[in-house]
Amino acid sequence: MTVLSVTGLKVRYSAKGPEILKGIDFEVKSDDFLAIIGPSGAGKSTLIRAVNRLVEPTAGEIILLDHNVCDLNAKQLRELRRNVGMIFQEFNLINRMSVMDNVLSGRLGYTGNMRSLFRMFPKEDVDQALYYLDRVGLSDHINKRADELSGGQRQRVGIARALMQRPKLLLLDEPTSALDPKISREVMGLIRDIARELKVPALCNIHDVQLAKEFCNRIIGMQDGYKKFDGATETLKDSDLEEIYAMEVL
């Protein structure tokens, strides 16, 4: 089953600015753990942000969970975004809030304004937060402030927060770039295991080709706003990598 299908996607940040994405087509199936690789500036982050319209596409079509993302109004877009968990390179936690509140904030899309104001999340949300905090191994840090944690722990909070949305798709924007190699492996492993457990497909930006090969079943190679490679991980050859990263050598 296709969860996400993107056709002819183009993005430009301003009318006179350069075109960042120059017509991208790809699909994410329900059992995919898809990596997007490519040199810096290839448009990986922009691509991932265009999927849930954190970045506005200038042309093309994005069908996400049977909705045409570009046609939605603000309210419909919020309702669709609730189904898409996102994990970030810099974690994007709220540093001055506790780990628990950070994880619960993943439920905001389902929570009313009054409850949000007084942080009165329903009991089942709290129970679920406790469960996911346990799952990512942070049961001992529930009441700590987010800025007291190490990098790897913070990303685990980010993972738990994304899972709170009960996502139907995970968007991962360089989830391991701010972490050291050992922690990177652990975090990628955790995300992959959970994605399998919950049967959630994932679309993952990653610049570490080794990690991509190790954890992802499919790979998209990007260069300068174009898609240069799209196929199963086993079919990625060294010559493909050379082509994708050709610009960086220069």
User: Which residues contact other proteins by CB under 8 A?
Assistant: 52, 54, 78-82, 84-86, 88, 90-97, 105-111, 113, 116-117, 158, 161-162, 165, 171
- Give Cα separations from 242 to 38, 60, 63, 210, 238 (angstroms): 10, 29, 32, 14, 6
HSE-up of residue 206 (Cα within 13 Å, Cβ side): 27
> Can you name the residues that pair with 170 across neighbouring β-strands?
85, 202
**Spatial distance between the Cα atoms of 231 and 233, rounded to a whole number of angstroms:** 6
Min CB(244)–other proteins separation in Å: 27
> Please, what sign has the CA dihedral across residues 83, 172, 24, 236?
negative
**96 or 123, CB closer to other proteins?**
96
3-state secondary structure of 58: coil
Min CB(47)–other proteins separation in Å: 15
- Indicate the DSSP class of residue 30: T
Min CB(24)–other proteins separation in Å: 20
Min CB(233)–other proteins separation in Å: 27
Q: Which two tokens stand for residue 172?
A: 């991962």
3-state secondary structure of 88: coil
**99 or 236, CB closer to other proteins?**
99
Q: At 223, give phi and psi (nearest 5°).
A: -150, 120
**157 or 244, CB closer to other proteins?**
157
**162 or 187, CB closer to other proteins?**
162
Min CB(212)–other proteins separation in Å: 22
**105 or 153, CB closer to other proteins?**
105
Strand bridging mode 33-37 / 226-232: unpaired
Min CB(164)–other proteins separation in Å: 8
**10 or 145, CB closer to other proteins?**
145
